[in-house]
Structure 1
Amino acid sequence: MTINHNRFLNEQREAARALDEQRFQSALDDAARTPTDAELEVAPILHNYAMISGVFETRPMLIGEVEGHTELRPGMISTSGVVLIDTEAGFARTQSRWYRLGTPADFDDEAQNTTRAMQRFDAFTVVNADEFAKMIADERALLKQALEAGAY
């Protein structure tokens, strides 16, 4: 049996594209609503989180110490792009999932030196809530544009 390698790769790319389209559309749909209690119950929690802009990717992301993630071990992570955040209600929606928000990072607290140490690598810039809100609006617009153009 001969396998057409190019056909196989094209099928894999199309499958990945369809999953990205579905994920992006779901993220945009979710950004227009509040998560259900059931969604938040199973969502991972980010402790000592900060709102950031990546240096290489200027997109809104969160960093923090994750707990209860289905794919990652507990520890420091950065999320995929954020499309919604409500710090008062304690949740955020990224391109891949909902997160519950624990306590925000306090960069003056010596106990949180992991977050501070990560910042020393200049891999990201911590941003304020107003900057983050603008970045989220831009991220949503880019996702919507990519979906409409079929360039997801």
Structure 2
Amino acid sequence: MQFNDYSSPSGRLCPAVRRFSATARTMEQTVLVPSLLRDVPLGHGVGGDMYEAYAILKGVHGQMESGGTNGLLLLLSGGSTANNSAHMQGKHLGGLNGVHAPAKTCESWDAKELESEFRHHVQGLQRVLSAMSDTALLLTTRYKEEVACTGGS
């Protein structure tokens, strides 16, 4: 089975992961007093307050960096967790479409169906990572503005 090349500049997963990791790290280094973020709207059409967004982004970033339950960075770097090793060995590929589909073995997947599912999930992950990167950047910028308005912390 041969997959199409998805290496267009806007269609690669690793750069999206690296961008999110970098913007989240910058956000964590910039936000020295997270409690200042409470009840401050994130703004620019993004709902919720800055503290909620900060907590979510920091949590996701921490999971990615540490290789938690779904350690994305670990998997992308070629590592494997015990939880994911069965999937990596091809023992079970059930539920790939995210709708609690019946379990399918490698033998029952059509190559085109598998490629389509893979492409769909990679593109979705890229969109989510891009949105989280944009939110981390916005939060960092807004935090700097808020700290400047209050005269520092």
The structure with the largest helix share of the pair is: 2
TM-score by length of 1: 0.28
The higher-RCO structure (CA 8 Å, 6+ apart) is 2
- Higher-Rg structure is 2
